[in-house]
Amino acid sequence: MQTSTDASLADRPPLPGSEAPPVPLGYHDDPVPGVGRRRPRAQFSSDAARLSLNGDWAFTLADTAAGTGPGFADPDLDDGDWGRIDVPSHWVLRGHGDPLYTNTAFPFPITPPHTPTANPTGDYRRTFTLPAGWRREGAVLRFQGVDSCAAVWLNGVELGHSKGSRLPFEFDIGPALREGTNVLCVRVHRWSSGSYLEDQDMWWLPGIFRDVELLERPAAVDDVYVHADYDHRTGAGTLRVEATDVDGAPVLALVDVPELGVAALPAGTATTIDGVRPWSAEAPRLYRGTVHAGGERIELAIGFRTISVAEGVLRVNGVRVHLRGVNRHEHDPDHGRAVSVELMRRDILMMKAHNINAVRTSHYPPHPEFLRLCDELGLWVVDESDIETHGFIYAGWEGNPPDDPAWTPALLDRTARMVERDKNHPSVIIWSLGNESEGGAGFAAIEAWLRDRDPSRPLHYERDRTYAQSDFYSLMYPSLDDLAAIAERTEETPEALAENAELEHRRRALPFLLCEYAHAMGNGPGSLADYQEILESSDRMAGAFVWEWIDHGFRGRTPDGVEYLRHGGDIDYRPNGGSYCIDGLVRPDRVPSPGLLELAKVLEPVRFDVDADGITVRNHYDVLDTGHLAFTWELARDGVALAVGDMVVPVLAPGEQTRVELPEAVDLGAAGEGETWLTVSARLAQATPWAAAGHEVGWGQGQLAQHARPRTLSQKSTPGSDGSTVLSRAEPAASADPGTLAVGAAVLDTRTGDLISLGGLDVSGLRLDIWRAPTENDRGQGELNNLAKVWRAVGLDRMLHSVTDVLIGDGGACVRARLAPATQPFGLDIAYTWTAGSGPTAPPADDPGEVTLTVDVTPYGPWHDVPYGHHEVTLPRLGVRLGLPAAVARATWFGLGPGESYIDSLTAAKVGRYAQSVDDLGFEYLVPQETGNRHRARWLELTGADSPGLRVAGSPTFDFTARRWSTEALDAAKHPHDLHPEDRLYLHLDLAQHGLGSSSCGPATPDRYRVHPEPTRFALTFSTMFQPQKEQ
C-alpha cells in the first residue's frame, strides 16, 4: 500500500443558496431558490443522533398562498380542530383536492415567475419532544423533499424557505431548538416559481412527500467527498476522502477501511491499494469504512471505479459498457412519490431480474435510499437534475428560464444540491443536466460548475442540439433507420450545427446515448429486438433507456365500490394529459407487462444460436465471465419433452463466444412426425442478492427437425386458374334441415352461407375481420402516427359484411361476400370455401368430420383515406372471427407462448405446448385495448366442462385470440371494470395483425410489420374433440 499526501487540496467551488433570513413577501413567486438554508452536502449515515419527524401532523388547506394567515406559526396556537395528515405524503392523495396530470402543458398561465392567486397552500404543524441529552448546538433540520415550495418556522422562529421539490434542504436550528416540547410549522405552496422548472410529464403532487429529520451534528465534519479511482491496467485503487466543515474548509479527520488495511488515514490524503476489486453494476463490490472526528463516526460505502469517455466510447474501469436501461419516475399507486424503501428495493430487484442494468432518474434525483440500493445491488445510474421547462413550448420558448440570467441561480442551486447529495455513490456514473428544456446560458453555467466540482463523471443533456455542454450525442425516439445511421456515424448534421463546423466535429466524435425510446404505453413496445440489434452494432452506442419503468396510476374505487387504477383522464380538469401517464413496463401494482418480458429477453447477457449442427454461446456481459452460470438443455417434439440434461460450456470472458456440440439425445427427435426443438438455458448457479439460484438469465431455441405428415389435395374441389377453389352450383346435400348443408364438421345455412355449428358446437358470426380495439400505440402521436384515427375515419371499425352468393358443390360450399365501409369506394371481396377433410394444405387427421376453410381475400378500390388521400390505409388485422358457447373455458395450443406475442414483439415467446384458461390469455392493461394474441400457433384446442371441444389447425400457422367480450366492447371500454363477460366466447383466427410499434411517442411502425390490403389466401382446418374435457 502506497500513501501520499495532497498538500494542495483544491478549494471547493462556491455553492448557491446560502442566503440569510428573513423570508421576504412573495417568496413563493421569486426565482430565488431559497433563503436561510445550509450549504448542500452529501447524504450519509453516522452514529450521531437522529430523530425522525415523520408521522402524524396537524394539517389544514387554504385556497391561496396566504395560507391560514401569519398566526399559524405561533407555537401557542391551538390546532386541535385542524385535520391530521401523515408525513411523508401528498395532500391530494389524502382527500384534499385532486392530483393533476399533464404531459407537457403547465396547469397555470405562463407568466414566469408568477403563479395564480388560486394557489392551494397546506399549513403543517408538528409538535415533538427533544430527547433528553440532545446536543442542541449545531442541530440541523432536514427535509428530503417538499413539493413545490416550503417556508419553515420552529418555535415561532422563521428559518427560511426553499424550492426544488425533489431535492433536500437543511436549516441550522440550534438557537431555535428548545429542550422538551418544540413546534415545527411548515407552509407548503402547490405552485411557486419553482413549478416553471418542474414540468416533467408526471402528476402534480404537492406536499411534504419525503422524510423530515432532526440531526445532531458534532462540530467537526459536516461533509465528506469520497474519491475512489480504479486503474484497470494495474488493478490498483486510489482512495482519498475529503472531510470539510460547515464553511467547506478541510478538517482533521481519520479514515478507516479495515478490509483494505487502511487505518487512521488522514482525510485529504490519497492512498493507493493494490488488488482491489472494482465496482460495477454486474459486480457491485463495496468496501465498508468510516471517517471519524469530533466523537462521530461517519459510515462510508466505497466503490472503486473510473469513468471515461474517449475516442467516442463510454468506458468504466477501462471496459466498454452498454447501458441497458429504463427511465424511472417514483410512483406508488397509493402514495404517489412517497415511495417506501421496500418498494424501491422491489423495483431494483425486478429490474435486475429482467436483465436491466441501468436507470435514468427521470426527471429528478430520486430518494437517496434508492441510490444506496443501486450501490449495493448494482445498477448504473444517470442522475438527472430536477429541471424541465417543457411547457414553454407553448410560448415558443420565449421566457424559457435556462435562457434568462435571472433564473441561473435557481438552475445552479438544483444542480448543486443533486451533486453534493449524491457525489459519493459509485452507481452514479453520469450527471444529467435536466430534460427537455432547450438551451441557454443557464446550462453553460451548470456545466462550468459541474466540470469544476466533479470532473470524474461525464455530463449528459439531450435537448440542446449543439451538445456543447454534453459528453454524449443524445436523442429521443429515433426511427430504426435513423438509429442505424448514428451507429455508422453517417447521420445528418443537426440544424443547430449547420454553420458551426467545430461543434459539429465534436458532436460527431461523441458516443451516443439514447435517453428515451420504445415508449411503453399500453400493449407494446414493438421492435425492441430491432433496436437492440442496432444498439449493439457499434462501440459508439453507449446504451439506451426505455420510456418508462412504471404506469403512473392511482388506486381508486367506482361509486359501487369496484377497485381500479385511475389515470389523468379520470380527473375532471383542463389541461389534461389523459392516459399518457400509463406508459410503463410494469403496472402501478408492479405486475410486469408482456413488454417487460420482451425487454428481458432482448437484453439477455448470455445469448444462444441453436441449429442442427450445434449451439453457439455468446457472453454479452460487460464485466462478468460465465463462471457463475449453469447451463441446461431440453429436447421436445411438438411441445412434449423427450429428454433433458446439463450442458458443459467453457467459461467465457466478456465478449467471447464458443461452439458447443448438440447433446447425443437429439437422435431421439430424428424419427417420427412433428417438430423437434432444442431449448438451452443459462441460470444462476448460486443465489445472488437480487435473485435465487436457478434464476434464468438467458435462453435460446432452435428447430432441429420437422417431419411433415403427408399432404394431399382434396378431391372434392378443383383449383381454378387464379389459385382459388372453384365449386359449381349444385343441389344441397341431403340434411335433416333442407336449408342446411353438412361439410365435414361444419353445418352451413345454404341460404345465407352462415356457419351454424362445428361438430355440435353452436357457432355464430363467422366472418372476415379486419378490426382490433386500437392500442395506445395505434393512437400514435401526430397525424401520421395516429393510425386509429385514420382507421376510424374510413370506417374500418364498422365494416359492412354482405353475402353476394352461395355456391354448393359435391361435398363443399363456397360463400362469396364483400366487406366494405360505408362512404368509401374500397373494400374486400371474399370467398369462404368449405371442403370436407384436410383441404389442400392442412395435414389430415383421423376425424372424418374434419373440415377446412380456405379464405381468399381480394381488395378493390383505392385504399386511401379519401377524399383527402393523405395516407395509405393499412389493416389492423386480417383473419376470421366467430362466436362459441360460453362453456368453452380452456385453450391448449402448440406454438409461441406462454404469454402474448405479436409480429414485432415475439422474442420472449418459446415454441412449446401450453394450456391456459381463456380468462388468462389477455393482459389487463389499465386502458383496455387489443391484447392476448398468440402468434404462430400450429394448432389450438378449445375445451370446456360441459361442451364438445374444438380443434383448429393452421396451414402451417395462424394467430389466435380468445376472450369473453367482443372487440367492440373492448374498444368502447375506458377501464377494465367496464368489461363484462358475455354469453359467448369470441375467437379470432388471424393470418396477420398490425405490429405494436411505439408510435404513442415515437416513430411509425416499420412497414414490414404492417398489414397491407393485397390479395391473400389462408386456410384453417377444424375438427371436433368429441370427449368433453373437465376444466383443470
pLDDT tens column, 787-800: 999 999 999 999 99
For the cut 50, the answer to whether the pLDDT of residue 1031 exceeds it is no
The answer to whether the CB of 784 falls within 8 A of the CB of 890 is no
For the cut 60, the answer to whether the pLDDT of residue 816 exceeds it is yes
Sign of the C-alpha dihedral computed for residues 313, 318, 322 and 325 taken in this order:
negative
For the cut 60, the answer to whether the pLDDT of residue 382 exceeds it is yes
**pLDDT value at position 623?**
98
For the cut 80, the answer to whether the pLDDT of residue 18 exceeds it is no
516 is a catalytic site residue: yes
The answer to whether the CB of 1011 falls within 8 A of the CB of 878 is yes
Please give the CATH superfamily to which domain 2-11+222-307 belongs. Immunoglobulins (2.60.40.10)
Per-residue pLDDT tens over the stretch 768-778: 999 999 999 99
Give CA 143 to chain center in angstroms.
29
**pLDDT value at position 219?**
87
Per-residue pLDDT tens over the stretch 64-107: 999 999 899 999 999 999 999 999 999 999 999 999 999 999 99
Counting beta carbons within 10 angstroms of the beta carbon of residue 164, is it exposed (0 to 12), middle (13 to 18) or buried (19 or more)?
buried
Average pLDDT over residues 492-506: 96
Q: In whole angstroms, what is the distance from residue 982 CA to residue 963 CA?
A: 9
Counting beta carbons within 10 angstroms of the beta carbon of residue 311, is it exposed (0 to 12), middle (13 to 18) or buried (19 or more)?
exposed
Q: In whole angstroms, what is the distance from residue 934 CA to residue 938 CA?
A: 10
Average pLDDT over residues 509-533: 98
Per-residue pLDDT tens over the stretch 150-187: 999 999 999 999 999 999 999 999 999 999 999 999 99
**pLDDT value at position 848?**
54
For the cut 60, the answer to whether the pLDDT of residue 975 exceeds it is yes
**pLDDT value at position 720?**
39
- Going from N- to C-terminal start, the domains of the chain cover 2-11+222-307, 27-215, 319-598, 604-707, 718-1025
The answer to whether the CB of 513 falls within 8 A of the CB of 473 is yes
CATH code, residues 604-707? 2.60.40.10
Average pLDDT over residues 389-394: 98
Beta-carbon contacts of residue 1012 (< 8 Å; ≥ 6 apart): 872, 874, 875
Average pLDDT over residues 621-647: 97
E strands in 504-562: 512-517, 541-546, 554-557
**pLDDT value at position 705?**
80
Cell numbers for 449:
460548475
Q: Which of these ranges, 609-618, 762-771, 837-846, has the smallest mean pLDDT?
A: 837-846
For the cut 90, the answer to whether the pLDDT of residue 713 exceeds it is no
Percent of residues, the chain, with pLDDT higher than 70: 92
Question: Half-sphere exposure (CA, 13 Å, Cβ side) for 1029?
Answer: 17
DSSP string, 165-185: TTS-EEEE-GGG--SEEEEEE
Is residue 870 very low, low, confident or very high in pLDDT (cuts 50, 70, 90)? low
Paired with 475 in beta bridges are: 514
CATH topology of domain 27-215: Jelly Rolls (2.60.120)
First to last CA, the chain: 66
Average pLDDT over residues 301-306: 99
Q: In whole angstroms, what is the distance from residue 327 CA to residue 813 CA?
A: 56
Average pLDDT over residues 702-716: 55
Per-residue pLDDT tens over the stretch 393-410: 999 999 999 999 999 999
Per-residue pLDDT tens over the stretch 597-612: 999 999 999 999 999 9
For the cut 90, the answer to whether the pLDDT of residue 708 exceeds it is no
Is residue 1030 very low, low, confident or very high in pLDDT (cuts 50, 70, 90)? very low
Cis peptide bond N-terminal to 604, omega within 30: no
Per-residue pLDDT tens over the stretch 314-363: 999 999 999 999 999 999 999 999 999 999 999 999 999 999 999 999 99
Task: Return the exposure string of 380-405: e unless at least 16 CB atoms fall within 10 Å of the residue's CB, then b.
Answer: bbbbbbbbbbbbbeeeeeebbbbbbe
Q: Which of these ranges, 366-380, 669-683, 765-779, has the smallest mean pLDDT?
A: 669-683
Cis peptide bond N-terminal to 870, omega within 30: no
Per-residue pLDDT tens over the stretch 33-72: 999 999 999 999 999 999 999 999 999 999 999 999 989 9
Per-residue pLDDT tens over the stretch 736-750: 466 899 999 999 999
For the cut 50, the answer to whether the pLDDT of residue 805 exceeds it is yes
- In the chain, what are the helix, strand and coil shares in percent, each to the nearest 5? 15, 40, 45
CATH topology of domain 718-1025: Beta-galactosidase; Chain A, domain 5 (2.70.98)
For the cut 80, the answer to whether the pLDDT of residue 10 exceeds it is no
Average pLDDT over residues 218-223: 94
Percent of residues, the chain, with pLDDT higher than 90: 88
Is residue 811 very low, low, confident or very high in pLDDT (cuts 50, 70, 90)? confident
Residue 542 φ/ψ region, left for φ over 0, alpha for ψ in the -120 to 50 degree band, beta for the rest = alpha
**pLDDT value at position 281?**
99
Q: From residue 956, how far is each of 551, 669, 697, 714, 952 by CA, in Å?
A: 38, 20, 31, 17, 11
For the cut 90, the answer to whether the pLDDT of residue 117 exceeds it is yes
The answer to whether the CB of 371 falls within 8 A of the CB of 428 is yes
**pLDDT value at position 866?**
66
Per-residue pLDDT tens over the stretch 886-897: 999 999 999 999
The residue ranking higher by pLDDT, 383 or 11, is 383
Per-residue pLDDT tens over the stretch 840-869: 434 444 455 799 999 999 999 999 876 666
Residue of 216, 296, 388, 436 marked catalytic: 436
Paired with 775 in beta bridges are: none
CATH topology of domain 319-598: TIM Barrel (3.20.20)
19 is a catalytic site residue: no
For the cut 70, the answer to whether the pLDDT of residue 21 exceeds it is no
Average pLDDT over residues 886-909: 98
Q: Which of these ranges, 278-287, 368-377, 832-841, has the smallest mean pLDDT?
A: 832-841
**pLDDT value at position 783?**
77
Instruction: Kindly report the pTM of this predicted structure.
Output: 0.94
> Are 2-11+222-307 and 319-598 the same fold in CATH?
no
Task: Return the exposure string of 774-790: e unless at least 16 CB atoms fall within 10 Å of the residue's CB, then b.
Answer: bbbbbbbbeeebbbbbb
Q: Which of these ranges, 283-292, 462-471, 663-672, 684-693, has the smallest mean pLDDT?
A: 663-672
Counting beta carbons within 10 angstroms of the beta carbon of residue 640, is it exposed (0 to 12), middle (13 to 18) or buried (19 or more)?
exposed
Paired with 954 in beta bridges are: 1020
For the cut 80, the answer to whether the pLDDT of residue 710 exceeds it is no
Residue of 198, 384, 516, 850 marked catalytic: 516
Q: In whole angstroms, what is the distance from residue 245 CA to residue 779 CA?
A: 56
For the cut 90, the answer to whether the pLDDT of residue 826 exceeds it is yes
The answer to whether the CB of 502 falls within 8 A of the CB of 972 is no
Q: Which of these ranges, 247-261, 366-380, 736-750, has the smallest mean pLDDT?
A: 736-750
The answer to whether the CB of 440 falls within 8 A of the CB of 465 is no
